[in-house]
Structure 1
Amino acid sequence: MNIFVVNSGSSSIKYQLFKMPSDQPICSGLVERIGLQGAAITHKVYRQGEETRLERQLDLPDHEAGLQEVARLLSDPEIGVIRDPAEIDAVGHRVVHGGESFAATTIISQAVKDKIRELFALAPLHNPSNYLGIEVAERIFGRAKQVAVFDTAFHQSMPEQAYRYAIPNALYTEQGIRAYGFHGTSHKYVAEQAAAYLQKPEAKLITIHLGNGSSMTAVEGGKSLDTSMGFGPNSGLIMGTRSGDIDPSIIFHLINQLGQDPKEVSGLLNKKSGMQGLTGYSDMRDITNALEGGSPEAELAYSLYAYRIKKYIGAYTAVLNGLDALVFTAGVGENDALIRQRVCRQLEYLGIEFDEEKNQQRSKGIREINTPASRVKILVIPTNEELEIARQCFALLE
């Protein structure tokens, strides 16, 4: 079964094509910096153990332009891996917010699309991109089954004390206002990888997904017990353009004292805050360059970013009543050694002892960056949301 996986982020599209049940992709790629200067595609094709790599810089104003370019590469006469889009049996889509309507992988119908649209307001940076990916894929891969895998599904195991808010009960029972959590596909995948690596199915883990969007999850026995994102994906950690946790009084101040309307406040907190608000940049690589150039704004931003993560480590260690491993994943978590260093320093009281030399090394698989004496493992595990999505699609359709 040929399953093409589309993972549309706020400024990126990751994709992989699998011939299931094999876990090895036929091709994969990344479209990044969509809508920003220097948008680029990295496309890889795998044949007989050999990798062919193509890199291009393009003007990609939006996600539709990016996905159209990906479709062209899939059937390119020279490097294509399919002759015709009709060869794709299923397209698996990452969808960020499923509300209380979707707790499992779902074949996409018009009713499902309508519900995803209804949830735009809860995930304004992602659900519109996810929806657009579905619409474009339906046109390009007309024969394929379109399947949605929801980020919120993994966190359905959270206990009520973790997902409820201290607001009038009717707002939950009638409006569904509760914490849903996100990045569930990534947290599930790396938690399973970590438990297998530790040879401990009931492992107590804190999974730390750091990308343009970021979140942390307390996991025990493969189940989510708590997570930093809530009703929408703006709570918790500091992110590329999102504020993360703030005092709700700030929202009232922006509206009542500064005269902003709710739409302006939403745009401010979702698209103009986080690292963008602190430094003028949303991409961590740009902020790193600014830091190396002596920028005090970049220095402060790094400190705030790491400090927020440390606070959640302390909170989730308490929730779990112990800890077997910290797991860093996603673009920043896997590649930014400085962030990992700033997070992991001075956590010895929790049994977390960090090895600077190991932290600077790179590898494609799971690696430890803790000292041999550390009671808690510090793991860097590359996430593979696309493989997890393909597995869930295959399980649904086979």
Structure 2
Amino acid sequence: MKPVLVINSGSSSLKFQLIEDGKAKAKGLIEEIGSDNARLKHNGHEETRPAQDHDAALAWMLEKLDLANLQAVGHRVVHGGTKYTAPTIVDEDVEKGIEELSPLAPLHNPVNLAGIRALRKLLPDVPQVAVFDTAFHATIPAVAATYALPVATAKEHGIRRYGFHGTSCQYVTRRANLDNLIICHLGNGASATAVHHGRSVDTSMGLSPLEGLVMGTRSGDLDPAVPFHLIRAGLDPAEIEGILTKQSGLRGLAGASDMREVRAKAESDDAARLALDVYAYRIRKYIGSFLAVVPGVQALVFTAGVGENDWRLRAEVCGPLAHLGIELDDDANRAAVGVDEPTSIGTGPVQVLVIPTDEESEIAAQASAAVR
């Protein structure tokens, strides 16, 4: 397979990988875009220079890469709504469509689009492919996707469950090689997904990536009346959005958003210990609900940074679930940190697996398939 360049644009950062035959030939990160001191980290080296926008950052990236015979550029795009349910070659109409979906993902789609537009100018002869986080969840049935709102209101404003982390879930489902799964993607963002016959049938994130599990800085589930209560207390909607998306979750409960910091604090801090308990409890609730959704669950899968590396968290989640057929092998669980391949850590009727995710290789594979 010819190489595919994978781009993940953030508001002030840019991650990139050059992937050929499923393996990364080069990878890097540009941070502090929009400043005179942007930093590029690439293959063990670091340098600094001005990069005032994504155009400048991407041009800098291109200086570092050998893009001979490039097949395509695959872009991570967070929200495809109901319009984009498969990897899509980008043209002017697709650009417009992604822009129109920005109100559903205001922190993500605009910067994803900035990367697309910049590389369409810098590499005009190379196909640009948008790979959508929401696409894997397009199979969620109406009974799971529908909120109990007035039908006309929901339709007018596009309100339904979309789900996210779909690229990771699709990769993990393929690596598990099983039909019926519960996937816990646990990183700074966190979600649980129910997979039946290899297809997503429910997921914890909804209209936005805010719903569901407790996350690094996001609240996850809460009473919808909370924002109204805060408005009556004198806060404006922008303040409330900031609280729920950037100041809540582990950061709000424990004063730190990184699980490693929270776990270290929990040794002497009751608030941090409670934060860990709440985090694990919410995951268990979703596992229990998805066991009711998916007949014959074959495996519970842990993936992403926390899921792959925090054996204590896996024990905290699974410890009380023996009555549901979920039991851990303590030695195997402790050893399964930073594994390269799918690893079994369970002893009960429901397998428990640690599967390292690789969203970049999945994006590359989907982009390659789209241009072929």
TM-score (norm 2): 0.89
> Per-residue deviation at 1:13?
4.7
Aligned amino acid, residue 28 of structure 1:
K
Q: CA RMSD in A?
A: 2.8
Q: How does 1:32-181 map to 2 (within 5 A)?
A: 43-44=42-43, 54=44, 56=46, 64=54, 68=57, 72=60, 75-76=63-64, 81-82=65-66, 88-181=70-163
User: Structure 1 185/238 Cα, relative in aligned 2: closer, same or farther at 3 Å?
Assistant: same
> Per-residue deviation at 1:87?
5.2
What is the SS of the residue equivalent to 2:18? strand
Aligned counterparts of 1:308 and 1:245: Cα–Cα separation in 2: 9
What is the SS of the residue equivalent to 1:347? helix
> Per-residue deviation at 1:288?
3.0
What is the SS of the residue equivalent to 1:147? strand
Answer whether contact 2:327 2:346 (CA < 8 A) is retained. Answer: yes
Aligned amino acid, residue 180 of structure 2:
K
Q: How does 1:276-355 map to 2 (within 5 A)?
A: 276-292=251-267, 294-355=268-329
Q: Deviations over 1:202-256 (max 9, x none)?
A: x210011111111111001110110001111110011111111010010110112
Answer whether contact 2:8 2:14 (CA < 8 A) is retained. Answer: yes
Answer whether contact 1:63 1:133 (CA < 8 A) is retained. Answer: no
1:217 aligned residue:
193
User: Structure 1 255/390 Cα, relative in aligned 2: closer, same or farther at 3 Å?
Assistant: same
Q: Does 1:247 find its partner at 2:246?
A: no
1:49 aligned residue:
none
User: Structure 1 62/211 Cα, relative in aligned 2: closer, same or farther at 3 Å?
Assistant: farther
> Per-residue deviation at 1:12?
6.4
> Per-residue deviation at 1:55?
5.4
Aligned counterparts of 1:383 and 1:62: Cα–Cα separation in 2: 32
2:341 aligned residue:
365
2:27 aligned residue:
28
TM-score (norm 1): 0.83
Answer whether contact 1:103 1:153 (CA < 8 A) is retained. Answer: yes
User: Structure 1 173/351 Cα, relative in aligned 2: closer, same or farther at 3 Å?
Assistant: same
Answer whether contact 2:12 2:31 (CA < 8 A) is retained. Answer: yes
Q: Percent identity?
A: 49
Aligned counterparts of 1:330 and 1:247: Cα–Cα separation in 2: 27
What is the SS of the residue equivalent to 2:25? strand
Aligned counterparts of 2:12 and 2:330: Cα–Cα separation in 1: 31
1:50 aligned residue:
none
Aligned amino acid, residue 209 of structure 1:
H
Moved more, 229-238 or 136-145: 136-145
User: Structure 1 275/71 Cα, relative in aligned 2: closer, same or farther at 3 Å?
Assistant: farther
Answer whether contact 2:82 2:138 (CA < 8 A) is retained. Answer: no
Aligned amino acid, residue 76 of structure 2:
R
Answer whether contact 2:329 2:346 (CA < 8 A) is retained. Answer: yes
Answer whether contact 1:181 1:227 (CA < 8 A) is retained. Answer: yes
Q: Does 1:231 find its partner at 2:207?
A: yes
Aligned length: 366
Structure 1: 5+ residue stretches without partners: 45-53
Aligned counterparts of 1:244 and 1:164: Cα–Cα separation in 2: 18
